[in-house]
Amino acid sequence: MLQPMASGVCSTMAQALGEDLVQPGELQDDSSSLGSDSELNGPGPYRQADRYGFIGGSSAEPGPGHPPADLIRQREMKWVEMTSHWEKTMSRRYKKVKMQCRKGIPSALRARCWPLLCGAHVCQQNSCDTYQELAEAPGDPQWMETIGRDLHRQFPLHEMFVSPQGHGQQGLLQVLKAYTLYRPEQGYCQAQGPVAAVLLMYLPPEEAFWCLVQICEVYLPGYYGPHMVFAALLRRLLPRVHKHLQQVGVGPLLYLPEWFLCLFARSLPFPTVLRVWDAFLSEGVKVLFRVGLTLVRLALGTTEQRLACPGLLETLGALRAIPPTQLQEEVFMPQVHSVALSEQDLQREIKAQLVQLPASASGPPPRPQARLPGAQAIFEAQQLAGTRGATRPEVPRIVVQPPEEPRPPRRKPQTRGKTFHGLLTRSRAPRIESPARSHRGSTSSLDTRF
C-alpha cells in the first residue's frame, strides 16, 4: 500500500532525494511528467499544450515511433469489443487483454479501461454513495493543511493543474481528502498526489478515488522491505551493477522510493508513464520491479558507464540522467517486458525477506496475502466475493401430499386350457378403473420445490 510502504521510507526519501539529485533542466524531455518547485513560475503566456495537456510539451503530434492512425483505430475497436463483454473477456481471453495492455491502451479508452482492469467499477457499484458522503464531509484539519501545501506541486505545467482554483487542483483536493476519511488510520502520503493527479487526467473524481483505493489496497499493500526485494533481484539479474552500487554506497532507498511510491509518474516521459500504468494495472506490481531493473541497467549496464561513476553522487546522477531517447515508450517498454522476472520469482523473494523480518519490527504488519497480482486475480476475487455476497437462495419448501389410495391387485388372465385364438376372441372383463391421478403428481409423498 502506498501509505504502509511510505511509512518506513518517506522520511528517508526526503533526505535521500535532495536537491543534488534534481535532474538538470537540459536533461529533461519536454514531454516528461517531471515537475519541481522551480517550475512554479508558470508557463509562458502563449505556449501551446501538447496532446497530453502539458503546456509547452513536445508531444503535440505523434512522433515517428508512434503507431499509425489506422493501427490505433484497430486497437480502439478491439478494446471496445473486449470491454463491451468484460466478464466473458476476462474469464476466457485474459491473455489477449494482457497483450493489448502491453501494446498500450488507446488514450481515448483509458477512462473506460483503467477502472475495469483494477476493479474500481465494482467498488463504485457496491458503494455508490460512499464518495459523495466523503466529498461532502469536512476533512481532518491536519491532513487538509498538508494536502493544500502539496497541490501546486503536482504537474504544475499541466493545463489541469495550473490554476489553484481550477477543476484539476480542486478535484485533487477532494480525492485526497476523501481517501484520508476513507482510511483514517493511513491518512495521506505525499506520493499519493502524483498518482491521483494522473488518474484525474483521465477519470472523473469519483472513479479516480476508487482507482486510488484499489492501487493502495490491492496492488500495493504493505509488505516488508520492497527495497530489499529489489536489491535481491538486482543481485541475481544484474550482479555487476549490484556490486558497483554496493562499492559506491548507493542503496535502493536512495532512488527506489520515488520510483515505486509515485509509480514512476515523476521519473519517466509522460507517454511512457501511461504505458507503464497500462501494464501495471494488467499484470501487477512485478511491472514496477521490471521497470526499475531496466532503468538501472540503462544507467549502469556497461563497464564504461560504471567507470564514469566512481562515487555516490555520480552514480545517483547517472540514474537520473538517462538519455530521453532511451526512455521513449516504443524503445523502453519492449525492454521492460523482456526482463526475466515472473510473479513466482517475486513471491519467492518476498517470502525470503519475510523470513528475515525481526520480531521487534515496528510499523504495520506485512500483508503479502492482501496483494493481488494483476487484473485477472482481482477479477476472480471480485467474482468470488460477488458469489458469496449474493442473495441467499430461498429455503426449500417441503410440501406433503396425502398418499394415493392403494389400487387393487391386477387379475392375471386365466389361460390354462385355452387356445390363443380363444383368448383373442374372448370378451374382455370390465376394466377396473384406478383412482384419478394428477398428471403432474409425484410418485413420492414428498415434493421438494425451490
pLDDT in tens, 177-223: 999 999 998 899 999 999 999 999 999 999 999 999 999 988 886 55
Mean pLDDT of 285-293: 96
Check residues 169 and 390 and name the one with the higher pLDDT.
169
Confidence (pTM): 0.75
pLDDT at residue 221 in the model? 62
Nearest to 285, CA basis, from 261, 253, 305, 302? 261
Q: For cell 483505493, what's the residue? A: 213
Report the amino acid identity of residue 379: F
Q: To 5 degrees, how large is the angle CA 77–CA 78–CA 80?
A: 65
Nearest to 35, CA basis, from 169, 197, 163, 157? 157
Tell me which of 254-268, 327-341, 406-420 is least confident: 406-420
Check residues 412 and 173 and name the one with the higher pLDDT.
173
Report the amino acid identity of residue 209: F
Q: pLDDT tens across 48-69, in order?
A: 888 899 988 766 555 556 778 8
**pLDDT averaged over every residue in the chain:** 79
Tell me which of 7-21, 159-173, 321-335 is least confident: 7-21
Q: What cell numbers appear for 321 in the block?
A: 540522467
Distance CA 438, CA 75 (A): 61
* Domains of the chain as residue ranges with CATH: 109-219 (1.10.8.270), 226-358+372-388 (1.10.472.80)
Question: Where does the pLDDT of residue 409 fall: very low under 50, low under 70, confident under 90, or very high at 90 and above?
Answer: low
Distance CA 178, CA 187 (A): 10
pLDDT at residue 57 in the model? 72
Tell me which of 241-245, 321-325, 355-359, 369-373 is least confident: 355-359
Q: What percent of the chain has pLDDT over 70?
A: 70
Distance CA 183, CA 200 (A): 20
Q: What cell numbers appear for 4 in the block?
A: 504502509
Mean pLDDT of 330-350: 93
